[in-house]
Amino acid sequence: MEVAALAKKLIQFETTHEKPDQIQECLNFCKSYLDGFPVIIKEFVSEGIPSIVIQTKDTTDVDVLLLGHIDTIPGPDELFEGKEKDGKLYGRGSLDMKAFVATSLQVLRELLEEGYLGNIALAIVSDEELGGKNGANYLVNTIGYNAKVVLVPDDGERIENIVTETKHILHLEFFAKGKEAHGCQPWFGKNAILDLIKTYKNLETHFEECLSAKDEQWVNTINLGMIEGGVATNEVPSSAKMSVDIRFTKNTSKEQMIHFIEQSCEKDVHYKIRMEGFPTILEEEDPFLKSYAQLVIEEIGRPVTFLKSGGGTDGRYFAEKGMKVLVHQSNGGNCQAEDEYVEVDGLSRLVNIQKKFIVKNF
């Protein structure tokens, strides 16, 4: 099967978290793509979340680990058809990241067809959109997978872009305790929602002070994603909570950021860290990165760009353990939009690059 056809097939599985049967069927299909090849397939389930690792050796210590996820956000049925037009493959999860699960499967299959005997593995998880706790995190911190290089084709959007640095991510939940009162006499109460709003305004002030980069994309960011509280329009809310996404560059330490957060909290407001994503940082002089970049240049015939990205990938769990994480994919765009796509030609180019990298270095 050509890699584009494989990608289309994967898109057609409606792998949202509302349809766990589709997630399992997609994983089963991925396993079947390596039927008859000398691989070992490990299946894992953590808190109901399945994942698989297809590997050439029976070990958790591998030279190269290809990493991908099949879960997607929901969408109408037509987004899961996988339509090809004018050299582009459209569909939910095409860029994020089923087309690149397809390239990873193809890399492994073609290497085996060509007699490759090295120690490599492909991990396919199904909870990246939920934060990766029971997928990539579970494989690293519970099962103990370790790799010299982790290839993550989940960011960049252009084949000439290699992501060398991502931000530290904190997902926080803030809780406020107030005092209820009737809406016609608010002075007898304490509005918990207003305390959260004041806290967020305090946070924004701190972020204005610690923006530290010239590139407007490479700055510390904050987003208020959700706020909940109150039981009636005419009642002062006695409790409330809000969820906040914070991302910061290496110019700000975690200790500094925590200090900012604590200083921002109004009285009777406290917070919890619900998710933490560690940054992936790969120095430009790293020999594996230099080798990979040269292969990209040879494949596309033009220079590469080392990119800093505000997004996050499951690679963060491997980076936290000191593993080298190389984030690179071929051309695509409009992630999670109705017209999300990948360029078909780039998929085979990515397969060529990653095969050559593995053979050359391992």
pLDDT tens digits, 124-140 = 999 999 889 999 999 99
Q: Express as a percent the part of the chain with pLDDT over 90.
A: 86
Task: Say what the pLDDT of residue 227 is.
Answer: 96
Average pLDDT of the segment spanning 23-40: 97
Angle, vertex CA 146, rays to CA 142 and CA 152, nearest 5? 105
Whether residue 295 is predicted with pLDDT greater than 90 in this model: the reply is: yes
Give 224-241 pLDDT, tens digit per residue.
999 999 999 999 999 999
CA proximity to 356, closest of 34, 148, 150, 110: 110
Whether residue 108 is predicted with pLDDT greater than 60 in this model: the reply is: yes
The residue written with tokens 């990979």 in the block is 292
CA distance 5 to 76: 21
- Strands in 221-229's sheet, in edge-to-edge order, are 221-229, 239-248, 168-177, 269-277
DSSP state of 295: H
**100 and 179: one domain?**
no
**7 and 137: one domain?**
yes
Global pTM reads 0.88
CATH number, domain with residue 205: 3.30.70.360
Average pLDDT of the segment spanning 150-160: 93
Separation in Å, CA 198 to CA 57, 183, 190: 55, 20, 13
Angle, vertex CA 319, rays to CA 318 and CA 321, nearest 5? 70
Residue 214 — pLDDT band, cuts 50, 70, 90? low
The total number of structural domains in the chain stands at 2
Q: How many residues does the chain have?
A: 362
Task: Say what the pLDDT of residue 1 is.
Answer: 72
**266 and 324: one domain?**
no
**137 and 285: one domain?**
yes
**70 and 101: one domain?**
yes
Give 297-355 pLDDT, tens digit per residue.
999 999 999 999 888 899 999 999 999 999 999 999 998 888 899 999 999 999 999 99
Task: Say what the pLDDT of residue 283 is.
Answer: 92
Give 48-106 pLDDT, tens digit per residue.
999 999 999 999 999 999 999 999 999 999 999 999 999 999 999 999 999 999 999 99
Task: Say what the pLDDT of residue 86 is.
Answer: 94
Task: Say what the pLDDT of residue 251 is.
Answer: 87
**124 and 8: one domain?**
yes
Task: Say what the pLDDT of residue 336 is.
Answer: 83
CB of 323 closer than 8 Å to CB of 150: yes
**135 and 172: one domain?**
no
**26 and 95: one domain?**
yes
Domain that residue 101 falls in: 3-166+279-361
**273 and 290: one domain?**
no
**172 and 136: one domain?**
no
Whether residue 293 is predicted with pLDDT greater than 80 in this model: the reply is: yes
**53 and 199: one domain?**
no
Residue 208 — pLDDT band, cuts 50, 70, 90? confident
Whether residue 212 is predicted with pLDDT greater than 60 in this model: the reply is: no
**24 and 56: one domain?**
yes
Asked which of 277, 303, 336 is the last residue of a domain, the reply is 277
Angle, vertex CA 89, rays to CA 88 and CA 90, nearest 5? 110
Give 186-207 pLDDT, tens digit per residue.
999 999 999 999 999 999 888 7
Task: Say what the pLDDT of residue 215 is.
Answer: 56
CATH number, domain with residue 153: 3.40.630.10
